[in-house]
Structure 1
C-alpha cells in the first residue's frame, strides 16, 4: 500500500507577501534629496505604498515617523521641498498624510502648533500673516491640493480634541468664518462661488470649532458676520441630493450658532440678538426657535425642484419674486456678491509655484449680496409649512392607511426621521395660538365625517389616520410618543378635549403614560340661553359670525366616547339588512368565544367543579334568576310606596301647620 505524503501548506504569493509586509518610515526618510527631480520616482513609489497600505501594515510608532518626515517636507519655510515637486507628487504627499491621519493612534503629532500651521498653510484658508512662513501662495483655495489639505484638517479635528483646542487658539473661528464668506484675511473677496464639496468641509470644520466654544461662536457672529454667510449659502445651494451633505453640515453649524450665541434674557421672554432676527433667523431651518418669534415667522417661497440645475437657480427665483412685487427687496449685508470681474482663473497657470499674490488693479471692495423676496408676516405660515411637510411624508411613506409597524421601504427608519417634525409641530402649537388654530382646523375640522359608515378614524387614509396609527405603534416608540404629544398640544393639553376629538380608544395609551389611568370626564356642551338666542337671531343679518377658538369649540352631535364617531341611535333591528344582522351575530359569537377562553369566566368552583358559565346557565333554566328578578322588582315597588306615604304625611303636616298660622 502506498502512503500519501503530507502536503505542505500553500506558500503565499508575492502579491500577498507584499500586502502583509510592514512598512517602515526609513523607506521614505532615507531617500536622499527628495526635492530633486532624479529622486521623484522613488518618492512617488514610497508615497503610493503609504496610500495603499492596509491598516495593520504601519505600526503606530512608524506612523509617527512617517508623519514627521512628510510634514517636514511640507513645511512652508525656506528651502521648501514640496515647492520643487510637480503638482501630482505634491498632491500624493498630502494624500499620504491624510491616510496616515485617519488612525488616531500614532497621529497625535499632527495637532502640534507647528504642524497645524503647516496643514493650515496648504488649505489656502485665510489666515494672519506669519513672519516664519513663506509668502501666501496664489494657489486657488478650490484647487485639488487645497481640498486634500482641508480633508486632513477636518479628520484631525474629528479625531483629536486637543487639535480642536489648538485650532481655536490659532484664530480658527475667524479663519473658518472668513472662508465661508469667501474672503481673504484682509477682507477682499477671494472665492466667488463655493462648490458643495468645499462647503461640506468648511461646514464640518466650523461645526467642530464651535463645539462647546461659546467664545468661538461670538467671534464668528460679531466680528465676521457668520449669519449672513450662512443665509447666503442656505439660500443659494439648491436642495437636491448632491448637496444634502453640504447643507447638513451648514445646518449643524447654524444650530451651534443659535445654541451658544449670547442673547439677552429677561424674566418674561428670551430676546434674541438683533443679528439673528427678523428674517435671517427664519432661513436657518433647524433652529430651536423661541415662542416669541412664532408670530414673526416669514413666509418664504418653496424651494426649487430637485431636478433644478445647480448654480444660481434660487437666486434667479428670488429675483423673479422681486420683479413681481412693488415692495422693496430685503437685502442682507452678505459678504458675497455675484460679479463678472472675478480673477480666480489667474491662479491656474501658476499652480505649484510659490509667489506673492499680484496686487489688485483696483481697490473697489467687491461684495456678494443675498437677495430675499419681498416678505409679509403671516401668522399661519409656519403651521402651513409644517403641515405640508407632514402631509408629503405621509403620502410618500405611509399611504392608503399603511400601518407604521408593517413593512417599510428599505432604509426608512421612522423613529429617526419623523419624531423631530412631530416634536417641532408640538412646540409650535404650544407657542402660537394661530398655529394651533390652523393645525386643529386642518386635522380636526368641524365638518369631519364622523359617521360610522366612514370607518374608524384610525383606519382612514388621511394624515389624521396616520397620526392615530402612530400613536398605537409598538415598534416605533419615539413616533408613538411624539405623535401623542402633538395631538395633546393641538387639543389644548386637555384630556376631555382629546378624547372628544379622537376617542378614548385612541387616546388611552397617551393618557396612561401621562398618569391619567381613568377615563376623563365628558365634555359638556352648554345650551344657549333663550334670550341670547333670540337676540342673536335678530342680529344675524347685520353682525358677522365669530368663529370659535379651539378651546371653545363645542360638540354639535352626540359622539361615541370610545371612537369619537357619531351615535346612530335610529338604527333598529327591523332597519338592519340580513347581512348586517349576520355581521352583528358573528360579532356576538366572537365575544362569547372570548368569554369561553377567559380563565376568569371558565374558572371551576364548588364540589361539582362547575364553571361560572355553567352555573349561570342552570340558574336561567331553573327560573331562579327570574324569581330573583321578581323579588327585586317587588322590593323596589314597596320601597317606592313607602317613600310616597312619607311624602304624603309630610305634606299633611305642612298643611296643618299652615292652617294654624292662618288662624292667628
Structure 2
C-alpha cells in the first residue's frame, strides 16, 4: 500500500493533496513514506503550490510536516528550497509608519485568523455545478473579487504564514540552513517584511522575528550585516514599541501573541548585544574565546535600551503568570548594556503609551543602526537623543532617587521568590522547600535558577554601576529603620527571602547571586554586610567568597520600635536587637516552664542542625554534645554530680542528727525540772 505522499507524487491534484496528513505519522506506520519519497516531496509540493496559488497554503502545510523528517532536513536547508519559499513571504499592505499604533493595525490583526481560515477553505469549497477546485482536470475556481484591503491579502497571508512556519522548522532542525537562509537573502527579506508593524498580523510578525533570532545565533555574519546594511536595530525597536503601544487594548488572545512577538524581538536583540561587538571589535574577541555577557558594547545598539526598559516598566505580567517571556528576555538584553552613558534611558519614567517617537529619535535610530561599525567597543558615548538632554534623573548622590525600572524589577523578584518559596523555612525544612520549588518550576517547563538568576544579576549590575540606584536598592531591601525585633532571615518579605536563599543547598547558583546582590547594596563591603544582616546568615556565603574574615563591626544602637524611643544594641551574629530585661525575664520563665520532653525535643533539633551544617561542607562544626560524650566529659560530669548529691545527703543527715540531739536535750531538761 502506497503512502498518501507517494500517491501525491504520482498524481498531484487537490484530492491527493487533501489526503496528506497535517501531523507527522507514527514512525514505521503504513502512512510513513520511504526516505526517497520524502526527499522528493519538497520540490514537488513547491512546484504544485506555484502552479495552483489558491492551494499553496495547503501545499505548504504539507511541506511543514514533510520537513520534520530527519532524512529530508538537509533538503529543506538547501539554497533551492529556501529560495523558493522566500517567494511566499507576505508583502504587508501599506499602512502607518513602523511603530505607530493605528486602529487599522488592531482590526487587521483581530480578523487575521478568520481571514486565513477563509483562504484555506475557499480552495476546497464545492459549489453546485462545479468540480472541486484544482482537481485532476486542472479546472481552478475563480473567487469573487476581494472587497477590503485585508481580503486583498488573504491568500498572501495564508501562504506566508505557512511558508514562515516551514522556514522556522527548517532553521530549527538544520543548523547550517541558518547561514544559507541569510546568504540567499532570506534574513534581509524578513527584516523588510517586519517594518510595517501596524498592518501586519501578530502571527506573521512573531514568525518573522523568530527567523531573525535563528539568523543571529552565535557569531553569524548576519549579526553585522543586519545592523550595518539592513537597519535591523531600528526594526527591533519598532517591534518593541508596537507591543508596548498596543498591548493594553489588545484582546486576550492577541495579548499572548504580542508578548511572544516581544520575546522573539528581544532574543534577537540579546544575540546582537552578545555577538555584534565581537564581530566588529577584535579586542573584544581577543579577551575571551567564547562570548561573555556584558564583555563588549557598541553604540550602534544603543537605541535598543530605552524600549527594553519601557517594556519592563509598562508591560505587567499577565495575571497568574510566572516570570517568563518577554520579561526574562528583556532582563537578558539589559545585562549586555552599559548604564553610565545611558542613565536617562535606564532610570527616567517611560513615555506615555500613545506618544510617538520624535523625528530626531527616528533619524538617530536609522543613523546609529547603519553607520557605526567603527565605534569604540569599551567606551560608550552619551546618547544624543532628546531624552538625554531633558533627563529627570537626579545627579549622583541625590538621596531622593526614584526609578520606575527598579520598582518593576524588585516587584518581579519579590513575586517570583514568594511564588517559589511561599513560606519561611527553618534549617530543617529548607531542602524540602527548595525541592518543592524545583518541582514547581519543572512542571512549568522552567528551572528555578535559570529563571531567577538573571534578574538578581541585573539588580546587582545596577547596584554596582550606579551609586544612586545602589542607595535606592539598599533603602528598599535593608532600610536603616528595618524592624529588628526578629532576625532578618526570618522575615516574610523580599529581605527575608533573599537572605534565606544565601544558605541554599539545592540551589547553589541562586544562593551565590543573592549573596552578591546583598553584598553590592552594602557598598561591596563584607563587614558592612555582616553588620547589617548578621554574621550568622552571611557565614556560608562569605566562606564561599573567601571573605569569612569579614567579622561584623560594632553596629550603632537601633530604635526598638517606631515611636518607642528605646534603643538597643544589635546582636552581631543574628542581626537582631539584643533582648531587653523584660525579654530576658520572659525567656527565663519560659525555660523554667519547659517539661523534660520539650527540652529533649529542643536538644534533638540542635543535633539535627549540627548534622546539616556538616553535610553542607561549608563549615565543619562539631556537635558539642556528641563531642562531650566522645571525650568522656559526660562521665566526669556524672561523677561530679554524684559527689555533689552525696555531700548534700551527708549534710542533710548531719543537720537532722543535730536537730534530734537538740530536741532530746530540751526534753531531758523539761523532765528534770518536773
For normalisation by structure 1, the TM-score amounts to: 0.63
- Tell me which protein shows more helix as a share of its residues: 2
Pairs within 5 Å for 1:522-533: 522-524=552-554
CA distance in 2, matches of 1:393, 1:49: 42
CA distance in 2, matches of 1:504, 1:144: 64
The one of 461, 472, 496 equivalent to 2:503 is 472
Q: 1:417 to 1:141 in 2, by over 3 A?
A: farther
What per-residue deviation string (whole Å, max 9, x for no partner) do you get for residues 136-190 of structure 1?
A: xx856861111001111111111112211221211233222212213xxxxxxxx
Residue 220 of structure 1 deviates from its aligned partner by: 1.9
**Other-structure match for 1:272:** 298
CA distance in 2, matches of 1:573, 1:526: 21
**Other-structure match for 1:450:** 484
Give the superposed CA RMSD.
4.1
**Other-structure match for 1:389:** 412
**Other-structure match for 1:258:** 273
Q: 2:544 matched to 1:513?
A: yes
Residue 564 of structure 1 deviates from its aligned partner by: 0.8
Residue 101 of structure 1 deviates from its aligned partner by: 0.3
Q: 2:80 matched to 1:119?
A: no
Q: 2:637 matched to 1:616?
A: yes
CA distance in 1, matches of 2:159, 2:538: 59
Q: 1:461 to 1:124 in 2, by over 3 A?
A: same
The one of 385, 388, 392 equivalent to 1:376 is 392
**Other-structure match for 2:362:** 332
CA distance in 1, matches of 2:296, 2:44: 53
**Other-structure match for 2:628:** 601
Residue 209 of structure 1 deviates from its aligned partner by: 0.8
**Other-structure match for 1:558:** 569
Q: 2:54 matched to 1:81?
A: no
Q: 2:199 matched to 1:193?
A: yes
**Other-structure match for 1:174:** 188
Q: Verify the 8 A CA contact 2:73 2:173 in the aligned structure 1.
A: no
Residue 380 of structure 1 deviates from its aligned partner by: 4.5
CA distance in 2, matches of 1:428, 1:195: 36
What per-residue deviation string (whole Å, max 9, x for no partner) do you get for residues 361-392 of structure 1?
A: xxxxxxxxx99998633565243332232234
Q: Verify the 8 A CA contact 2:345 2:387 in the aligned structure 1.
A: no
| 3-state SS of paired residue (1:297) | helix
| 3-state SS of paired residue (2:571) | coil
Q: 1:98 to 1:104 in 2, by over 3 A?
A: same
Residue 447 of structure 1 deviates from its aligned partner by: 0.8
Q: 2:40 matched to 1:65?
A: yes
Pairs within 5 Å for 1:237-386: 237=243, 238=247, 240-262=255-277, 272-273=298-299, 276-277=302-303, 279=306, 282-283=309-310, 285=330, 286-287=332-333, 288-293=336-341, 295-299=343-347, 315-316=353-354, 318=355, 331-333=361-363, 376-377=392-393, 380-381=402-403, 382-386=405-409
**Other-structure match for 1:568:** 579
Runs of 5+ consecutive residues of structure 1 not aligned to the other structure: 1-20, 75-79, 127-137, 183-190, 304-313, 323-327, 337-369, 528-555, 605-610, 627-664
Residue 398 of structure 1 deviates from its aligned partner by: 4.3
Q: 1:299 to 1:581 in 2, by over 3 A?
A: same
Residue 253 of structure 1 deviates from its aligned partner by: 0.6
Q: 1:490 to 1:301 in 2, by over 3 A?
A: closer
Q: Verify the 8 A CA contact 1:443 1:464 in the aligned structure 2.
A: yes
Residue 221 of structure 1 deviates from its aligned partner by: 2.1
CA distance in 2, matches of 1:584, 1:272: 70
Q: 1:615 to 1:142 in 2, by over 3 A?
A: farther
Considering only CA atoms, is the larger Rg found in Structure 1 or Structure 2?
1
What per-residue deviation string (whole Å, max 9, x for no partner) do you get for residues 306-363 of structure 1?
A: xxxxxxxx843x37xx9xxxxx897435999xxxxxxxxxxxxxxxxxxxxxxxxxxx
| 3-state SS of paired residue (1:461) | coil
**Other-structure match for 1:226:** 232
Q: Verify the 8 A CA contact 1:228 1:334 in the aligned structure 2.
A: no
Residue 568 of structure 1 deviates from its aligned partner by: 2.6
CA distance in 2, matches of 1:251, 1:418: 18
The one of 197, 215, 221 equivalent to 1:209 is 215
Q: Verify the 8 A CA contact 1:294 1:428 in the aligned structure 2.
A: no
Runs of 5+ consecutive residues of structure 2 not aligned to the other structure: 93-151, 249-254, 288-294, 312-329, 367-384, 395-400, 558-566, 608-622, 648-674
Q: Verify the 8 A CA contact 1:332 1:371 in the aligned structure 2.
A: no
**Other-structure match for 2:158:** 144
Residue 51 of structure 1 deviates from its aligned partner by: 5.4
Q: 2:593 matched to 1:582?
A: yes
Pairs within 5 Å for 1:409-488: 411=444, 413-451=447-485, 455-488=486-519
